[in-house]
Amino acid sequence: MYVCLCNALTDAQLRAAVAAGAARVKDLYAGCGCQAQCGCCTNTVLTILRQERPTGGGGS
Ligand code: FES
């Protein structure tokens, strides 16, 4: 499923970026070789990040 239309990122790509070590939303975009543009997808991206790293939120 496409999550970020600006960058044509799918949920699978984002989950792979989390698995590769992305711990913050901006790291997720960077891990996919892009950056947030319109920002419409950031809530969904954050949800995926929290789902994949349930203990990773709030850390440094
Ligand atoms: S939909 Fe992701 S930055 Fe626009």
pLDDT tens column, 1-60: 999 999 999 999 999 999 999 999 999 999 999 999 999 999 999 999 999 986 655 554
Is residue 4 classed as helix, strand or coil in its secondary structure? strand
| Cβ neighbours of residue 37 closer than 8 Å, sequence gap 6 or more | 6, 7
Closest CA to 48 of 21, 8, 12: 12
Please report the pLDDT score of residue 53 as a whole number.
Answer: 87
CA distance 49 to 60: 15
| 59 Cα to the center of ligand 1, angstroms | 25
Q: Could you give all domains of the chain from N- to C-terminal order, each with its CATH number?
A: 2-52 (1.10.10.1100)
Please report the pLDDT score of residue 56 as a whole number.
Answer: 52
Single pTM value for the model: 0.84
The token duo for 35 is 């950056």
Of 1, 38, 44, 45, best ligand 1 pocket probe by most atoms within 8 Å of the beta carbon: 38
Please report the pLDDT score of residue 28 as a whole number.
Answer: 93
Regarding the beta carbon of 41 and ligand 1, being less than 6 Å apart is answered yes
